[in-house]
Amino acid sequence: MISFPGAKINIGLRVLSRRADGYHDIETFFYPVGLCDALEFVVPPANHDEDELTVTGIDINTRPDRNLIIKALKKLRERYPLPFLKIHLHKAIPSGAGLGGGSADAACMIRSADRCFNLGMNDREMKELALSIGSDCPFFLKPVPSIAKGRGEELTPSEPILKGYHLVLINPGIHISTRDAYLNSTPEHQKKELSELLSHDIGEWKKKVKNDFEDYAFKVYPVIGEIKKSLYLSGALYSSMSGSGSTVYGIFERKPDIESKIKKYVIWEGLL
């Protein structure tokens, strides 16, 4: 079975409070984008006593046994008698880039296994399993534009408000720890809902819609902040770091002429 796990960007990311379970309550707008990995698996001949995962494309510096796809399979086997699989993952979504690539791969594995082996999982069970793998993993089960709250699993689908805009994804190849990003954030409750701010014209988002992880990322890795500035100079209507970084995106009315100093970092561009 072949599937194509897709990436997401965060439009606004607000860290609201630290929870008793060690996680944080957040508010963000997940928006799916066209950049994707490719995931294929088959049931190999008999005598296999473990899953076999090969990875090509971008080097994600993760041992196969620590990949979230394998974690998803182990979680599935706690409930269902799945055969061991031979899996090939071709990576186009960078790791540690704020695009949700690992979570997308895991969610795609869950959905595909459910279909392939007729597991009959309902939405609640699938979401519960996905959340045990990662806070943004439930979004990728049905990746449509969604306001996310809680850990990121409380999802409210939204209209595709960016349909027709041109997106540019810039990644400088810096891996940022999500844990470090949270440790260096200052949780703060907000007076206005993110959905209210996003209802304004996109040209107003620059002053109203913020990613709370940017202050830390820009301080430690100034090049990320410079990329954001360059995207605005290239005509972006709105630019932001996605997730905990290090990818920065720009949203344009039409295909832009990106400044030469950041053009080498472009990893994807196209219509939303």
Residue-wise pLDDT tens digits, 233-247: 999 999 999 999 899
- 46 pLDDT band, cuts 50/70/90, is confident
Per cent of the chain over pLDDT 70 is 100
Residue-level pLDDT at 114: 97
Domain coordinates in residue numbering, the chain: 2-157, 166-271
Question: The domain 166-271 belongs to what CATH superfamily?
Answer: GHMP kinase, C-terminal domain (3.30.70.890)
Residue-wise pLDDT tens digits, 27-45: 999 999 999 999 999 999 8
Would you say residue 64 has pLDDT above 90?
Answer: no
Would you say residue 166 has pLDDT above 80?
Answer: yes
Q: What is the mean pLDDT of residues 112-131?
A: 96
Q: Is 8 a catalytic residue?
A: yes
Q: Is 136 a catalytic residue?
A: yes
Considering the candidates 114, 136, 149, 212, report the single residue annotated as catalytic.
Answer: 136
CA distance linking residue 80 with residue 129, whole number of Å = 12
Concatenating the DSSP letter of every residue in the chain gives -EE-PEEEEEEEEEEEEE-TTS-EEEEEEEEEEEEE-EEEEE-PPS---S-EEEEEES-----GGGSHHHHHHHHHHTTS-PPP-EEEEEE-SPTTSSS-HHHHHHHHHHHHHHHHTT----HHHHHHHHHTT-TTGGGGGS-S-EEEETTTTEEEE---TTTT-EEEEE--S----HHHHHHT------SS-HHHHHTS-GGGHHHH--BTTHHHHHHH-HHHHHHHHHHHHTT-SEEEE-TTSS-EEEEESS-----HHHHTTEEEEEE-
At the top level of CATH, the class of 2-157 is alpha beta
CA distance linking residue 200 with residue 195, whole number of Å = 9
- Contacts of residue 126, defined as CB under 8 A and 6 or more positions apart, other chains included, come to 110, 111, 114, 141
Would you say residue 213 has pLDDT above 80?
Answer: yes
Residue-level pLDDT at 65: 81
